[in-house]
Structure 1
Amino acid sequence: MEKTFMEAMDFRHACKIFDETKKVSDEDMHFILEAGRKSPSSFGMEAWKFLVITNEELKAKLKPFCWDQAQITTCSHLVIVLAGIEGVKPESGIPEKRFARREMPKEKLDFYLDLYAGHLKETLSNDKNIYSWTARQTFIALGNMMTAGAIRGIDSCPIEGFDKEGVEGVLGLDTSKFQLTCVLPFGYRINEQSTQQREKFEDIVEFIK
């Protein structure tokens, strides 16, 4: 039975070890990945890619570069979240294709392309700046995927504890095109969840009227 949104928020926690005997179904993983694919992105560029790893040997190779965390090899599916680099550059032609998905006259398309390139001139000036911009956007998709998993009773754990170059090397990534932002394992908890700790609503939220 699916959980409501708030039930999913209460259910979700950073799972430290998964039950290796339980596997997430193809249907449930598709549901999770669709939540990532349909997430919002700046200018609608969708500058991300999700690698879904179930190969146990490959997970074992990645584990030493992820601080030897148990989640890497005990999870059912290991999602590698990548930030796009080359695809957001105007000269790649991809931004034009993204804008052109909406029917519009050429002069309007050219206007959007000029606005995009001008507004992001500094951001698009080098790969380091691009990564900083696109990596932040991948966390929107990452959050949606974790919540989608929780709705189906599936656990996850966002992992930033890794050797970025090491993981990218094992995966053979062309880092001029995509770079690693987060490692996101999915599976089923083997231990009970500890009591969720959050600050009080009134300490986090301020209304300005």
Structure 2
Amino acid sequence: MSSAEMRQHVLAIANQRFATKKFDPSKHIDDEDWQAILQVGRLAPSSYGYEPWRFILLKNKKLKDAIRSFSWGAINSLDGADKILLILVRKDVSYDADYVKHLVMNIKQKPYSPDSPQSQHFKVFQERDLDIHTTKERFEWATRQAYIAMANMMTAATELGIDTCPIEGFNYSKMNQFLANHQIMDPEHWQIAVMVSFGYRDQPIKPKVRQPLADIYKEV
């Protein structure tokens, strides 16, 4: 594929990606495709490589039915999408957190100390540069990382001919309580950031309507 063809392909994928409102419930995602999408999420970039996310596939029908009353934005997906993915994020990522120590020592296979240059640099980055000091602010920071993973997974799905829909239309407080009550997450460390559905659309793609590039891009 030439460079020109590759550019056209990239733009075609961007135009094909569509926030699907109606899915075909009879169509199912091949497991190898699904595993590839999950790997893309796992490989997504995150600030300092601290991967503050967890992906929860909601398969149980009773659990799906239970969230309907407070998940208005997910109803169409619950009715037809093959996969409903909940993306949780840690709300306690800090330079001296046990989770960061675990990542550095057990995953990255490097020595850890809260006084190391890496730890102290992350501390300054969070506390001075981003002005992050509270649990809520750490959750919001982690959520921004999760959206990177979600976007990458949605693009990968589109490449595989799979449709998606990002979902924020639910009551966050009730969803967090639901996940805690059903022991799906430990609320001391986790909160839900966003949901995203995957499947095959049962509706035509509408042409994208966006602002002109000149209105959103500037060279200085």
TM-score normalised to structure 2 length: 0.83
Per-residue deviation, 1:121 = 3.1
Alignment of 1:184 with 2:192, yes or no, is: no
Per-residue deviation, 1:82 = 1.1
Per-residue deviation, 1:124 = 5.5
Alignment of 1:58 with 2:63, yes or no, is: yes
Per-residue deviation, 1:63 = 1.9
Q: How does 1:108-123 map to 2 (within 5 A)?
A: 110-121=116-127
Alignment of 1:138 with 2:156, yes or no, is: no
CA contact (8 A) 1:95 1:113 kept: no
CA contact (8 A) 2:114 2:120 kept: no
Q: Which residue identity is paired with 1:157?
A: C
Aligned to 1:174: 186
TM-score normalised to structure 1 length: 0.87
Q: Return the match for 2:17 from 12, 15, 18.
A: 12
Q: Distance in 2 between matches of 1:108 and 1:177?
A: 19
Q: Distance in 1 between matches of 2:12 and 2:67?
A: 33
Q: Return the match for 2:103 from 98, 104, 112.
A: 98
Q: Which residue identity is paired with 2:100?
A: P
Per-residue deviation, 1:104 = 6.1
Q: Return the match for 2:44 from 27, 30, 39.
A: 39
Q: Distance in 1 between matches of 2:84 and 2:170?
A: 14
| Cα RMSD (Å) | 2.4
Alignment of 1:70 with 2:76, yes or no, is: yes
Aligned to 1:24: 29
Q: Which residue identity is paired with 1:190?
A: D
Q: Secondary structure at the match of 2:67?
A: helix
Q: Distance in 2 between matches of 1:20 and 1:106?
A: 48
Per-residue deviation, 1:109 = 7.8
Q: Which runs of 5+ in 2 are unaligned?
A: 1-7
Aligned to 2:3: none
Identity %: 28
Per-residue deviation, 1:108 = 11
Q: Which residue identity is paired with 1:135?
A: T
Aligned to 1:129: 137
Q: Distance in 2 between matches of 1:180 and 1:13?
A: 23
Q: Return the match for 1:156 from 158, 164, 167.
A: 164
Q: 1:76 to 1:102 in 2, by over 3 A?
A: closer
CA contact (8 A) 1:76 1:185 kept: yes
